[in-house]
Amino acid sequence: MAATIRDIRDRTGLSLATISKYLNGGNVLPRNRELIEKAIEELHYEVNELARGLVTNRTKTVGVLVYDIQCIFVGNMLHHLGQILHENGYGMLICDSCNDREIERKNLQFLLNRKVDGILVFAVSLDGKFLEGARKAGIPVILVDRALRDEEYDCVEIDNRAAMMRAAKKLISCGHRRIAVIASDIEYTGMERMKGFDEALADAGITVPDAYRVSGKHSFELGYRGVKNLLKLPEPPTGVILGNYDTTLGGIMAVNESGLNCPRDISIVGFDDLLMSKVIRPKLWLISQPMEDMSKRAVTMLLARMSGEEESGPTRISFSAALKEGDSVRSVESW
């Protein structure tokens, strides 16, 4: 039979009030704490977090809303977030919104019903209306990766425009003028990256045909079909930027199936330095997001909000994404 708080009382000789105070996070005398911790270990006592939550109004659980749990980027972020939350004594309750705003709204209510202490959000929606329930309940929310149009919540992201401008300027510096981009026009990150692409070309005085801007939903299919169609153009681009990890993989497959060589026939800059990108040849020039640093900052912000240490207005943190050197870009002058 599982040990109870009364077993700890019998083992230590301390009062139930003292033991309960310790179990609920209160301060007790060092000697009493040692006795209680020793008894917990010897008796294999397990804290009933639900019961403790009723007393402390804390469940030691953080909810995480993700737009698509199949996304490799999201999976890596969850890995880092989970580690950091664990180090701080918190568990993680993950809800997959399946890229559906209605599911996202229901998932939020599910997390609120489970009395999570805070919520990390990889949003599907472009505005914050679906988060109103969390605001009314006083549950802190931190947006991760994607900001909202109204910007009423704390957010940790990369500077998507600057990241795409960095990718475009790499191709421009190598003499490319026929540059294409494949990025989402329905997701926050893709829209921001497309703006960065346009800004980089405008700064360089470069004009490209509309067919060079391929948009849709970030996916393997978008990258694959996008590159296939670009290569069929009467005047195909000499360089292409693939707007996220999934589109990068799809685009590389399309080039390989075409029988063309990268970078001899077409130069490529991709996004996200994840597993498959490390085994693809040639080694890709890549925009690399600081996922571990982003995760640490998001958890730190959330813990500060949950503890009441941070009470200022919403804060937006934009990390710089690095351009990692590869072998997938060739100078036009050498063609």
pLDDT of residue 91: 94
Distances (CA, A) of 310 to 187, 192, 228, 315: 30, 29, 50, 10
Average pLDDT over residues 292-317: 90
Name the more confident of 20 and 196: 196
pLDDT of residue 52: 54
Minimum mean pLDDT range among 7-16, 139-148, 215-224: 7-16
pLDDT of residue 11: 87
pLDDT of residue 47: 66
Could you give the strand order of the β-sheet that contains 239-242, starting from the edge strand earlier in sequence?
Answer: 213-216, 179-184, 239-242, 267-271, 285-288, 322-324
The Cα 266–Cα 329 span in angstroms is 8
Name the more confident of 119 and 7: 119
The answer to whether residues 191 and 139 belong to one domain is no
Cβ neighbours, 10 Å, residue 20: 15
| pLDDT tens readout for residues 58-111 | 679 999 999 999 998 999 999 999 999 999 999 999 999 999 999 999 999 999
The answer to whether residues 151 and 262 belong to one domain is no
Average pLDDT over residues 322-329: 94
The Cα 44–Cα 98 span in angstroms is 40
Tokens coding 283: 């080694």
The answer to whether residues 301 and 201 belong to one domain is no
pLDDT-derived band at 255 (thresholds 50, 70, 90) equals: very high
The answer to whether residues 97 and 226 belong to one domain is no
Question: Would you say residue 23 has pLDDT above 90?
Answer: no
Please give the sequence-ordered ranges of beta strands (E in DSSP) within 56-201, or none if there are none: 61-66, 91-96, 118-121, 141-144, 154-158, 179-184
Q: Do 88 and 60 form a contact (C-beta atoms < 8 A)?
A: no
Minimum mean pLDDT range among 47-61, 151-165, 207-221, 276-290: 47-61
Task: Check which CATH number belongs to the domain holding 37 and give it.
Answer: 1.10.260
pLDDT of residue 304: 94
The Cα 294–Cα 145 span in angstroms is 8
Question: Would you say residue 333 has pLDDT above 80?
Answer: no
| pLDDT tens readout for residues 136-154 | 999 999 999 999 987 789 9
pLDDT-derived band at 275 (thresholds 50, 70, 90) equals: confident
pLDDT-derived band at 6 (thresholds 50, 70, 90) equals: confident
The Cα 116–Cα 35 span in angstroms is 31
The answer to whether residues 281 and 295 belong to one domain is no
Radius of gyration of the chain (CA): 25
Where among 33, 56, 79 does a domain terminate? 56
Q: Do 107 and 69 form a contact (C-beta atoms < 8 A)?
A: no
Minimum mean pLDDT range among 30-34, 203-207, 242-246, 316-320: 30-34
pLDDT of residue 300: 96
Average pLDDT over residues 282-308: 94
Question: Would you say residue 51 has pLDDT above 60?
Answer: no
The Cα 105–Cα 125 span in angstroms is 9
pLDDT of residue 49: 58
Residues paired with residue 323 on neighbouring β-strands, in sequence order: 287
The answer to whether residues 109 and 211 belong to one domain is no
Instruction: Give the amino acid at 82.
Output: G
pLDDT of residue 17: 86
Residue 246 — φ and ψ, nearest 5°?
A: -65, -45
The answer to whether residues 152 and 175 belong to one domain is no
The answer to whether residues 81 and 144 belong to one domain is yes
The answer to whether residues 178 and 282 belong to one domain is yes
Q: If you average pLDDT over every residue of the chain, what do you get?
A: 90
Task: Check which CATH number belongs to the domain holding 79 and give it.
Answer: 3.40.50.2300
Give this prediction's pTM. Answer: 0.80
Residue 119 — φ and ψ, nearest 5°?
A: -135, 130
Question: Would you say residue 311 has pLDDT above 80?
Answer: no
The answer to whether residues 327 and 189 belong to one domain is yes
Count of structural domains within the chain: 3
Range of the domain at 248: 160-289+323-334
The answer to whether residues 298 and 234 belong to one domain is no
Average pLDDT over residues 156-169: 96
pLDDT-derived band at 312 (thresholds 50, 70, 90) equals: confident
**What proportion of the chain, given as a percentage, has pLDDT over 90?**
71
